[in-house]
Chains A and B, each alone.
Chain A
Amino acid sequence: MIINHPILGPRDAQEFVYLGDAALMGRPDGMTAGIEEFHDWLYNRDNPAGEHRELWYHEQGDRSWLVVTRNTVTHEILKVELARDVARAMGRAK
Protein backbone atom coordinates (compact mmCIF):
# COMPACT_ATOMS: atom_id res chain seq x y z
CA MET A 1 0.00 0.00 0.00
CA ILE A 2 0.95 3.61 -0.41
CA ILE A 3 0.19 6.11 2.33
CA ASN A 4 0.06 9.72 1.23
CA HIS A 5 1.94 11.31 4.10
CA PRO A 6 0.67 14.84 4.80
CA ILE A 7 4.23 16.18 4.86
CA LEU A 8 6.27 13.78 2.76
CA GLY A 9 3.81 12.70 0.09
CA PRO A 10 3.29 9.10 -1.06
CA ARG A 11 5.32 6.60 0.94
CA ASP A 12 5.31 2.82 0.89
CA ALA A 13 3.34 1.30 3.75
CA GLN A 14 6.37 -0.92 4.37
CA GLU A 15 7.92 2.09 6.09
CA PHE A 16 5.09 2.26 8.60
CA VAL A 17 4.08 0.36 11.69
CA TYR A 18 0.39 -0.24 12.24
CA LEU A 19 -1.11 0.22 15.68
CA GLY A 20 -4.86 -0.03 15.25
CA ASP A 21 -8.14 1.80 15.70
CA ALA A 22 -7.70 5.56 16.09
CA ALA A 23 -10.29 5.38 18.86
CA LEU A 24 -7.26 4.60 21.03
CA MET A 25 -6.53 8.32 20.90
CA GLY A 26 -9.38 8.93 23.30
CA ARG A 27 -7.47 7.71 26.33
CA PRO A 28 -9.35 8.55 29.53
CA ASP A 29 -7.65 10.53 32.25
CA GLY A 30 -6.25 8.09 34.75
CA MET A 31 -6.91 10.38 37.68
CA THR A 32 -10.62 10.64 37.03
CA ALA A 33 -11.63 7.58 35.03
CA GLY A 34 -12.00 4.22 36.66
CA ILE A 35 -11.18 0.67 35.66
CA GLU A 36 -14.48 0.19 33.79
CA GLU A 37 -13.93 3.18 31.56
CA PHE A 38 -10.33 2.24 30.84
CA HIS A 39 -11.32 -1.33 30.15
CA ASP A 40 -13.97 -0.25 27.70
CA TRP A 41 -11.55 2.12 25.95
CA LEU A 42 -8.74 -0.40 25.71
CA TYR A 43 -10.60 -3.56 24.75
CA ASN A 44 -13.97 -2.76 23.19
CA ARG A 45 -13.43 -1.57 19.66
CA ASP A 46 -15.28 -1.83 16.39
CA ASN A 47 -13.86 -3.91 13.59
CA PRO A 48 -15.65 -2.55 10.55
CA ALA A 49 -15.55 -4.00 7.06
CA GLY A 50 -15.29 -0.65 5.34
CA GLU A 51 -14.16 2.76 6.43
CA HIS A 52 -11.82 2.66 9.41
CA ARG A 53 -9.67 5.30 11.09
CA GLU A 54 -6.35 3.84 12.04
CA LEU A 55 -3.10 4.84 13.67
CA TRP A 56 0.05 4.32 11.63
CA TYR A 57 3.58 5.29 12.62
CA HIS A 58 6.18 6.33 10.06
CA GLU A 59 8.96 4.46 11.77
CA GLN A 60 11.29 4.36 8.76
CA GLY A 61 10.51 7.95 7.91
CA ASP A 62 9.90 11.08 9.93
CA ARG A 63 8.47 9.26 12.98
CA SER A 64 5.11 10.96 12.61
CA TRP A 65 2.08 9.18 13.95
CA LEU A 66 -0.70 9.41 11.38
CA VAL A 67 -4.43 8.90 11.40
CA VAL A 68 -5.20 7.03 8.20
CA THR A 69 -8.80 6.61 7.08
CA ARG A 70 -8.83 3.42 5.09
CA ASN A 71 -11.44 1.16 3.61
CA THR A 72 -10.54 -2.22 5.09
CA VAL A 73 -12.26 -4.03 2.23
CA THR A 74 -10.72 -2.25 -0.75
CA HIS A 75 -7.65 -0.79 1.01
CA GLU A 76 -8.55 2.56 -0.49
CA ILE A 77 -7.08 5.33 1.62
CA LEU A 78 -9.47 8.21 1.93
CA LYS A 79 -7.64 10.58 4.23
CA VAL A 80 -4.30 10.91 6.00
CA GLU A 81 -3.74 13.33 8.87
CA LEU A 82 -1.02 14.00 11.38
CA ALA A 83 -2.19 12.36 14.59
CA ARG A 84 -0.89 15.28 16.59
CA ASP A 85 -3.26 17.64 14.74
CA VAL A 86 -6.15 15.26 15.21
CA ALA A 87 -5.35 14.88 18.90
CA ARG A 88 -5.28 18.63 19.42
CA ALA A 89 -8.55 19.00 17.54
CA MET A 90 -10.01 16.41 19.92
CA GLY A 91 -8.98 18.65 22.77
CA ARG A 92 -6.00 16.62 23.89
CA ALA A 93 -3.24 18.80 25.28
CA LYS A 94 -0.86 17.85 28.07
Chain B
Amino acid sequence: MADMLRPLTALGGHAPAELAVGLLIVTERFDVALASVAARRGRMADLARAVVKTGLPLPEAGRHAAGTPYSAFWVAPEMWFVEAPFATHEGIAGMLKGALGDAASVTEQTDAWVALDLAAPDLAPILERLSNVDLRAAPDGFATRTVIEHLGCYLIRHGAGNVRLYGPRSSAKSLIHAIEGAATATF
Protein backbone atom coordinates (compact mmCIF):
# COMPACT_ATOMS: atom_id res chain seq x y z
CA MET B 1 0.00 0.00 0.00
CA ALA B 2 2.76 2.39 -0.84
CA ASP B 3 0.21 4.74 -2.42
CA MET B 4 -1.52 5.17 0.90
CA LEU B 5 1.52 6.98 2.17
CA ARG B 6 1.14 9.76 -0.35
CA PRO B 7 -1.25 12.22 1.14
CA LEU B 8 -2.47 15.33 -0.64
CA THR B 9 -2.58 18.68 1.06
CA ALA B 10 -5.83 20.59 1.17
CA LEU B 11 -4.63 22.72 -1.73
CA GLY B 12 -4.08 19.59 -3.78
CA GLY B 13 -0.31 19.23 -3.76
CA HIS B 14 1.98 16.60 -2.40
CA ALA B 15 3.80 19.38 -0.58
CA PRO B 16 2.25 22.31 1.26
CA ALA B 17 1.65 25.36 -0.88
CA GLU B 18 3.29 28.72 -0.40
CA LEU B 19 2.07 31.87 -2.02
CA ALA B 20 3.32 35.43 -2.06
CA VAL B 21 1.25 38.44 -3.14
CA GLY B 22 2.92 41.76 -2.58
CA LEU B 23 4.05 41.74 1.01
CA LEU B 24 1.79 38.87 1.99
CA ILE B 25 3.10 35.36 2.36
CA VAL B 26 0.61 32.54 2.81
CA THR B 27 1.97 29.18 3.94
CA GLU B 28 -0.15 26.07 3.94
CA ARG B 29 0.49 24.14 7.14
CA PHE B 30 0.40 20.41 6.67
CA ASP B 31 2.17 19.58 9.90
CA VAL B 32 -0.58 20.39 12.38
CA ALA B 33 -2.71 17.73 14.02
CA LEU B 34 -6.06 18.96 15.26
CA ALA B 35 -8.74 17.56 17.55
CA SER B 36 -11.76 18.94 19.34
CA VAL B 37 -12.06 18.51 23.08
CA ALA B 38 -15.42 19.11 24.74
CA ALA B 39 -16.08 18.68 28.42
CA ARG B 40 -18.70 16.12 29.22
CA ARG B 41 -21.66 17.67 31.04
CA GLY B 42 -20.73 18.53 34.59
CA ARG B 43 -17.17 17.23 34.14
CA MET B 44 -15.32 20.52 33.65
CA ALA B 45 -13.49 20.14 36.95
CA ASP B 46 -12.34 16.64 36.01
CA LEU B 47 -11.24 17.86 32.62
CA ALA B 48 -9.37 20.78 34.18
CA ARG B 49 -7.44 18.35 36.37
CA ALA B 50 -6.71 15.99 33.51
CA VAL B 51 -5.34 18.70 31.22
CA VAL B 52 -2.85 19.84 33.82
CA LYS B 53 -1.16 16.45 33.67
CA THR B 54 -1.37 16.39 29.90
CA GLY B 55 0.08 19.85 29.52
CA LEU B 56 -2.95 20.95 27.58
CA PRO B 57 -3.96 24.61 28.01
CA LEU B 58 -7.68 25.41 27.98
CA PRO B 59 -7.85 29.16 27.32
CA GLU B 60 -10.84 31.35 28.06
CA ALA B 61 -13.40 32.34 25.45
CA GLY B 62 -11.97 34.09 22.43
CA ARG B 63 -8.39 33.10 23.18
CA HIS B 64 -5.59 30.86 21.95
CA ALA B 65 -2.95 29.50 24.32
CA ALA B 66 0.32 28.15 23.04
CA GLY B 67 2.07 25.19 24.61
CA THR B 68 4.21 22.17 23.93
CA PRO B 69 3.22 19.84 22.51
CA TYR B 70 -0.38 21.01 22.79
CA SER B 71 -1.73 24.45 21.97
CA ALA B 72 -5.44 25.13 22.10
CA PHE B 73 -8.09 27.70 21.24
CA TRP B 74 -11.61 28.16 22.48
CA VAL B 75 -14.37 27.37 19.97
CA ALA B 76 -17.55 27.03 22.03
CA PRO B 77 -18.61 26.91 25.67
CA GLU B 78 -16.53 24.13 27.27
CA MET B 79 -15.08 23.18 23.90
CA TRP B 80 -11.61 23.73 22.40
CA PHE B 81 -9.61 22.86 19.35
CA VAL B 82 -6.25 21.38 20.23
CA GLU B 83 -3.21 21.69 17.98
CA ALA B 84 -0.11 19.52 18.07
CA PRO B 85 2.73 18.64 15.70
CA PHE B 86 1.46 16.15 13.14
CA ALA B 87 4.72 14.21 13.04
CA THR B 88 4.38 13.17 16.66
CA HIS B 89 0.60 13.41 17.01
CA GLU B 90 -0.99 12.03 13.85
CA GLY B 91 -3.28 10.07 16.15
CA ILE B 92 -4.07 13.14 18.24
CA ALA B 93 -7.66 12.15 18.99
CA GLY B 94 -6.67 8.76 20.34
CA MET B 95 -3.85 10.28 22.38
CA LEU B 96 -6.14 12.87 23.94
CA LYS B 97 -8.84 10.32 24.63
CA GLY B 98 -6.28 8.27 26.48
CA ALA B 99 -5.16 11.26 28.49
CA LEU B 100 -8.52 12.80 29.27
CA GLY B 101 -10.59 9.66 29.78
CA ASP B 102 -14.33 10.12 30.03
CA ALA B 103 -14.11 13.70 31.22
CA ALA B 104 -14.20 14.89 27.63
CA SER B 105 -15.47 14.01 24.21
CA VAL B 106 -12.62 14.10 21.75
CA THR B 107 -12.98 14.14 17.96
CA GLU B 108 -10.42 14.00 15.19
CA GLN B 109 -10.38 17.30 13.25
CA THR B 110 -6.99 17.30 11.52
CA ASP B 111 -8.20 16.85 7.98
CA ALA B 112 -11.43 18.76 8.35
CA TRP B 113 -9.48 21.99 7.93
CA VAL B 114 -6.94 23.70 5.80
CA ALA B 115 -4.44 25.55 7.95
CA LEU B 116 -2.96 28.73 6.48
CA ASP B 117 -0.36 30.96 8.07
CA LEU B 118 -0.58 34.55 6.88
CA ALA B 119 2.41 36.81 7.28
CA ALA B 120 2.88 40.45 6.29
CA PRO B 121 4.19 43.56 8.02
CA ASP B 122 0.56 44.46 8.72
CA LEU B 123 -2.25 42.06 7.97
CA ALA B 124 -5.13 44.36 8.91
CA PRO B 125 -5.47 46.01 5.48
CA ILE B 126 -5.80 42.59 3.85
CA LEU B 127 -8.01 40.93 6.40
CA GLU B 128 -10.41 43.87 6.58
CA ARG B 129 -11.41 42.95 3.03
CA LEU B 130 -12.16 39.40 4.10
CA SER B 131 -13.53 39.33 7.61
CA ASN B 132 -15.40 41.52 10.08
CA VAL B 133 -12.82 40.81 12.77
CA ASP B 134 -11.30 44.00 14.17
CA LEU B 135 -7.74 42.74 13.84
CA ARG B 136 -6.21 46.07 14.83
CA ALA B 137 -7.99 46.09 18.16
CA ALA B 138 -7.57 42.37 18.84
CA PRO B 139 -4.78 41.32 21.20
CA ASP B 140 -2.21 38.69 20.32
CA GLY B 141 -3.64 35.30 21.17
CA PHE B 142 -7.10 36.37 20.04
CA ALA B 143 -9.03 33.50 18.49
CA THR B 144 -12.45 33.60 16.90
CA ARG B 145 -14.65 32.05 14.35
CA THR B 146 -15.39 34.36 11.46
CA VAL B 147 -16.77 34.30 7.96
CA ILE B 148 -14.37 34.64 5.06
CA GLU B 149 -15.63 34.23 1.50
CA HIS B 150 -18.91 32.81 2.91
CA LEU B 151 -16.87 30.15 4.72
CA GLY B 152 -16.79 29.57 8.46
CA CYS B 153 -13.14 29.89 9.48
CA TYR B 154 -11.16 30.15 12.67
CA LEU B 155 -8.82 33.11 12.90
CA ILE B 156 -6.01 33.26 15.43
CA ARG B 157 -3.98 36.42 15.82
CA HIS B 158 -0.44 35.63 16.82
CA GLY B 159 0.71 39.16 15.97
CA ALA B 160 -0.21 42.17 13.86
CA GLY B 161 1.57 40.49 10.97
CA ASN B 162 1.04 36.88 11.88
CA VAL B 163 -2.32 35.14 11.67
CA ARG B 164 -3.32 31.49 11.46
CA LEU B 165 -6.51 30.66 9.58
CA TYR B 166 -8.36 27.38 9.66
CA GLY B 167 -10.84 27.09 6.83
CA PRO B 168 -13.03 24.24 5.64
CA ARG B 169 -10.69 21.87 3.85
CA SER B 170 -12.90 21.18 0.84
CA SER B 171 -13.02 24.90 0.05
CA ALA B 172 -9.29 25.49 0.50
CA LYS B 173 -8.89 26.64 -3.10
CA SER B 174 -11.77 29.11 -2.89
CA LEU B 175 -10.41 30.45 0.37
CA ILE B 176 -6.90 31.01 -0.92
CA HIS B 177 -8.30 32.60 -4.06
CA ALA B 178 -10.16 35.09 -1.89
CA ILE B 179 -7.05 35.84 0.15
CA GLU B 180 -5.11 36.35 -3.07
CA GLY B 181 -7.77 38.75 -4.34
CA ALA B 182 -7.75 40.75 -1.12
CA ALA B 183 -3.97 40.97 -1.12
CA THR B 184 -3.93 42.07 -4.75
CA ALA B 185 -6.44 44.79 -3.98
CA THR B 186 -4.30 45.90 -1.03
CA PHE B 187 -0.80 45.98 -2.46
Q: Which residues of A contact B (CB under 8 A)?
A: 7-9, 12, 14-15, 59-64, 82, 84
Contact between B147 and A15, CB atoms less than 8 A apart: yes
Q: Is the interface of B mostly helix, strand, loop or mixed?
A: strand
Contact between A63 and B76, CB atoms less than 8 A apart: yes
CA distance A12 to B133 in the complex (A): 10
B-chain residues with CB within 8 Å of residue A12 when the two chains form the complex: 132
Q: How large is the interface on B (under 10, 10 to 19, 20 to 34, 35 or more residues)?
A: 10 to 19
CA distance A8 to B185 in the complex (A): 30
A7-B145 in contact given A62-B76, A64-B76, A64-B77 (Cβ < 8 Å) = no
A-chain residues with CB within 8 Å of residue B62 when the two chains form the complex: 7-9
Most buried by B among A7, A64, A84: A7
**A82 nearest CB neighbor, chain B only:** B77
Contact between B61 and A60, CB atoms less than 8 A apart: no
- Is B22 interfacial (CB 8 A cutoff)? no
Contact between B75 and A60, CB atoms less than 8 A apart: no
A60-B146 in contact given A7-B61, A8-B61, A8-B62 (Cβ < 8 Å) = yes
8 A-B contacts, Cβ less than 8 Å apart?
A: A7-B61, A7-B77, A9-B62, A15-B147, A59-B152, A60-B147, A62-B77, A64-B77
Contact of B145 (CB < 8 Å), options: A9, A14, A62, A82: A62
A-chain residues with CB within 8 Å of residue B146 when the two chains form the complex: 15, 60
- Is B71 interfacial (CB 8 A cutoff)? no
- Is B110 interfacial (CB 8 A cutoff)? no
B-chain residues with CB within 8 Å of residue A82 when the two chains form the complex: 77
CA distance A8 to B138 in the complex (A): 13
CA distance A61 to B76 in the complex (A): 8
CA distance A63 to B147 in the complex (A): 13
Contact of B147 (CB < 8 Å), options: A7, A9, A14: A14
**B41 nearest CB neighbor, chain A only:** A94
Would you give the shortest CB distance from A8 to chain B, in whole angstroms?
6
